[in-house]
Amino acid sequence: MSEQYQQFKCECDTEIAAQGAEAAMQTATRVWMDGANHLKYSYHFEWLGRPIIQYPQDVVAMQELIWNVQPDLIIETGIAHGGSLIFYAAMLELNAACGGPQDARVLGIDIDIRAHNRAAIEAHPMSKRIDMIQGSSIAPVIIAQVHEKAASRENVLVILDSNHSHAHVLAELEAYAPLTSVDSYCVVFDTVIEDMPADMFPNRPWGKGDNPKTAVWEYLKTHAEFEIDRQMDNKLLISVAPSGYLKRVR
């Protein structure tokens, strides 16, 4: 790292801290996100031809994490249309082209991989780096399969993005967060549900008080090996995963 780049990074760190402490920015972000959610904003982006259903800010953040961690396995619960799997596989392909792990893979788990989504994922050029398991991510037989696939890997990054209820996410954390390598991340998406109006999810089994963020809070009470990456929160501001970027520190 050059001296000039180090200086730039230091300047950014100072600016990011100030950004996170700016109350007006926090308020504006909250108002904007509540409005955007009503318009299904996150559903309107694709990665290499597949719907990714993420905010662009979180996509860029995940790119940064993947470059820094250089994982040889990315585990994601929740597949939907497969855009995230394609994105992670594409990042691993770029890492490999730049000298990173050559055999890195993405493992996706979903209770219902719909036939048309599976067909589209398997037909995609990035499918060469993707494996999929159908079944509940918290079923013992599925957990065992994932642990078996992770056993021979050195740098593992975990992403939880399936059922967003407190109980389900806490069970996923207990099952998969321990697979996270030291200095890597377990990213819990949709923690933002806790910050949204109570009536935002009337037809869902989750909402304020029962969601991924409450599961993160519960998990961290007994797992000091993980810390919330507050700098990521301060940098992104607009994110579906506030307090959800969990770094394994030991």
pLDDT tens-digit map of 44-55: 999 999 999 999
pLDDT tens per residue, range 93-139: 999 999 999 999 999 999 999 999 999 999 999 999 999 999 999 99
pLDDT of residue 120: 98
In this predicted model, what pLDDT tens digit does every residue of 31-86 receive, in sequence order?
999 999 999 999 999 999 999 999 999 999 999 999 999 999 999 999 999 999 99
pLDDT at 201: 84
Q: Hey, what's the torsion of the CAs at 145, 162, 89, 228, to 10 degrees?
A: -100
* Position 202 pLDDT exceeds 90: no
The span from the CA of 219 to the CA of 221, in Å, is 5
pLDDT at 240: 97
Indicate the helix (H) or strand (E) that contains 90.
Answer: helix 83-97
Q: Looking at residue 12, what is its pLDDT?
A: 97
For residue 235, give every residue at least 6 positions away whose Cβ sits within 8 Å of its Cβ, in sequence order, or none.
16, 19, 20, 61
Q: How far is CA 94 from CA 22, 54, 144, 153, 196, in A?
A: 36, 20, 30, 19, 36
Report pLDDT for 50: 98
What integer is the mean pLDDT of 135-150? 98
Cα Rg of the chain, angstroms:
18
CATH topology for the 3-248 domain: Rossmann fold (3.40.50)
Query: What pLDDT does 139 receive?
Result: 98
Q: In the prediction, which pLDDT does 81 show? A: 98
Give tens-digit pLDDT for 154-175: 999 999 999 999 999 999 999 9
**Is residue 186 a contact partner of residue 246, using CB atoms and an 8 Å limit?**
yes
> What does the alpha-carbon distance between residue 12 and residue 177 come to, in Å, rounded to a whole number?
29
Residue 200: what pLDDT?
Answer: 83
pLDDT for the residue 1:
77
- Position 98 scores a pLDDT of 98
What pLDDT does residue 59 have? 98
Q: Each residue of 22-33: pLDDT tens digit? A: 999 999 999 999
Residue 199 pLDDT greater than 90, yes or no: no
pLDDT value at position 203?
85
Q: Name the burial class of residue 10, with classes exposed (0-12), middle (13-18) and buried (19+) by CB atoms within 10 angstroms of its CB.
A: exposed
